Structure 1
Amino acid sequence: MNGKITRTNPVTMPAPVGNYTHITKIPRGAELFVTSGQIGVNAQGEIPAVLNEQVVHTFANIKTALESENLSSEHIIKVNIWATEQIDWDFFDVEWDKLFGKEYPAMTVGYLAELGLPEIKIEIEIWAASV
């Protein structure tokens, strides 16, 4: 096995319907990092009322969490996204691509009635690996 994270979309199955990869494989011996769900709280501790503003702050918080462990988006292997209202995918994908470029991790999206606090509209959990 090689010593790097690999991402594949098997030709025997339909292509992903979004910006993600069907399979992300980490090599044996990699160190695993799992974040708590990150939300759209800003540096002042405020949660904006608008989902897209929360998306911007959520990605900034993810980047800060990764950097605290000397990680970057290339280390992300899995993303779980939960939202309480319809995600504006055109806006979301622009922010997503700022973080990932075109090296997409595996991803799951779910819509829920509510998250931990009534004002939270989106929460994103990251799984990362360092090789």
Structure 2
Amino acid sequence: MGNKKITRRNPKGMPEPVGNYTHITKIPRNAEWYVASGQVGMDEDGSFPESMNRQISNTFKNIEAILAAEELEAHHIVKVNIWAIEQIDWQWLNQQWIDLFTDEFPAMTIGYLVALGLPEIKVEIEIWAAKP
């Protein structure tokens, strides 16, 4: 009947990932899919902090709230897209990333853009999740 778990791997013959992600993630047949809108770094009061790192922390907090609302866990996340308008402090983001994923990393894409949806937004993170 096939594997009923989400599996992640880095194929042989390819360079190792340059960060904490996996080259390919396989989602089992008949898994439920969850696609979240891009999450941004808004504070609980609806304002955007000036600090990119605070926005990153808030964004991860919002992602955790989405997961909890759907009874999902970090290991259900199969794909992450990160969009930013200024240089990311990778040490800061990686700590948030490892806190969320521990050591089971999803596929990831990162892009630097000129602007996001509102002038105050410095980072937006989109997740795709699957629950077997």
Shorter-chain TM-score range:
over 0.9
Q: Secondary structure at the match of 2:111?
A: strand
Q: Quote the residue 2:4 is aligned against.
A: 3
Q: Quote the residue 2:17 is aligned against.
A: 16
CA RMSD of aligned residues (A): 0.5
CA distance in structure 2 between the aligned counterparts of 1:5 and 1:105, rounded to whole angstroms: 10
Q: Quote the residue 1:85 is aligned against.
A: 86
AA matched with 2:77? I
| Residue pairs, 1:27-106, within 5 angstroms | 27-106=28-107
User: How far apart are residue 26 of structure 1 and its match?
Assistant: 0.4
Q: Deviations over 1:6-65 (max 9, x none)?
A: 000012100000110000000000000000000001111111011000000000000001
State the 4+ residue runs in structure 1 displaced beyond 6 angstroms.
Answer: none
Q: Quote the residue 1:122 is aligned against.
A: 123
CA distance in structure 2 between the aligned counterparts of 1:61 and 1:17, rounded to whole angstroms: 26
Percent of aligned positions that are identical: 60
Q: Count how many residue pairs are aligned between Structure 1 and Structure 2.
A: 131
Normalising by the residue count of structure 1, what TM-score does the alignment of the two structures yield?
Answer: 0.99
Q: Secondary structure at the match of 1:28?
A: coil
AA matched with 2:115? E
Q: Deviations over 1:49-84 (max 9, x none)?
A: 110000000000000011100001010000000000
Of 42-51 and 29-38, deviating more is 42-51
CA distance in structure 2 between the aligned counterparts of 1:32 and 1:42, rounded to whole angstroms: 28
CA distance in structure 2 between the aligned counterparts of 1:32 and 1:8, rounded to whole angstroms: 20
CA distance in structure 2 between the aligned counterparts of 1:72 and 1:59, rounded to whole angstroms: 13
AA matched with 1:13? M
Q: Secondary structure at the match of 2:103?
A: coil
AA matched with 1:2? N
AA matched with 1:98? D
CA distance in structure 2 between the aligned counterparts of 1:43 and 1:82, rounded to whole angstroms: 21
User: How far apart are residue 87 of structure 1 and its match?
Assistant: 0.3
